Amino acid sequence: MMSFVMHRQVNTNPLLWKLDSIVSLSDEERQALLDLPMAVKVMEADSDIVRDGDRPSECCLVLSGFVCRYKVLSDGRRQIMGFYIPGDIPDLQSLHLHVMDHSVGTLVTSSLALIPHESLRRVLAQYPGLAAAFWRDTLIDAAMFREWMVGMGRRSAYQRIAHLLCELQVRLKAVGLAGEDGYELPVTQNELGDALGLSTVHVNRVLQDLRSEGLIVLRGGSLHIPDWKALQLAGDFDPGYLHLKR
């Protein structure tokens, strides 16, 4: 089992780790976020947080675990549209899009903080800087969708997988959940396929290619990236679309 250096500060809200990586907040704004009422809830793996068609009255902040956004087609197949990690609010959009057009579910046991829309709206009305920050967050979300679209439209399975592994490295690092050269990836090959528009079998074969070329070491949910530059190149990865500060 590999271990990774974790930079997160204990006793702070992961929402702050995340927002700090994309905007600059004043102390007052940070305090307003910490004062938000949150109901913590632990959910086991593979359970739905919100479902397609729901009309949520609260948003869900990921505190720990791994969460995804997905849609199931009329024929039962699934498309995962994004992975969400501690600090993310995958259903922030429900603040303004009242009916869910997709579902959000856990991939592993995860703990979530539920924040009432009402409270969130009050805080955003009071602190325009926070409203801008959250808007920006949803825009970055959209940027990730675009990048995935590019991948599914124009990149090979090989590039797509490498690209996704790069994206997660950068995003997890930004909130202190990845080391310099790897992270815990609690995602099955089947889920990777659903996320990238590939079959499980093909994901498996491509992962073996990546392994045999020494681009990744992946075992038991731990990913080690021996040569970051090389993996980035293989995935045609440019982190610009994540719009991180610095």
Partner DNA sequence: CGAAGGCTTGATAGACCTCAAACACAGTGG
Partner DNA sequence: CCACTGTGTTTGAGGTCTATCAAGCCTTCG
Site string for a second copy, 57-86 (x = CB under 8 A): ------------x-x-xx--xxx-x-----
Strand pairing category for 67-72 and 103-106 = antiparallel
The yes or no reply on residue 201 touching DNA (CB under 7 A) is yes
The yes or no reply on residue 103 touching DNA (CB under 7 A) is no
| Closer residue to a second copy (CB): 39 or 99 | 99
- Contact range with a second copy by CB under 8 A, out of 10-18, 96-104, 184-192, 220-228: 96-104
Task: Give the CB-side neighbour count of residue 244, counting CA atoms within 13 A.
Answer: 15
Out of 12, 142, 188, 214, the residue judged to bind a second copy by CB under 8 A: 142
Site string for a second copy, 31-60 (x = CB under 8 A): ------------------------------
In 3-state terms, the chain is what percent helix, strand and coil (to 5)?
45, 20, 35
Burial annotation 66-93 (CB, 10 A radius, 16+ → b, else e): bbbbbeeeeeeebebbbbbbbbbbbbbb
CB 17 to a second copy: min, Å: 20
Alpha helices in 14-127 (DSSP H): 14-22, 27-34, 117-126
Whether the Cβ atoms of residue 196 and residue 153 lie closer than 8 Å to each other: no
- Contact range with DNA by CB under 7 A, out of 16-24, 98-106, 199-207, 222-230: 199-207
The yes or no reply on residue 97 touching a second copy (CB under 8 A) is yes
- What tokens does 224 get? 């080690």
- Contact range with DNA by CB under 7 A, out of 22-30, 143-151, 166-174, 205-213: 205-213
CB 191 to DNA: min, Å: 8
Out of 12, 188, 213, 214, the residue judged to bind DNA by CB under 7 A: 188
CB 197 to DNA: min, Å: 6
For residue 98, CA distances in Å to 56, 95, 102, 134 come to 7, 7, 12, 17
The yes or no reply on residue 207 touching DNA (CB under 7 A) is yes
The CA radius of gyration of the chain, in Å to the nearest whole number, is 18
The yes or no reply on residue 135 touching a second copy (CB under 8 A) is yes
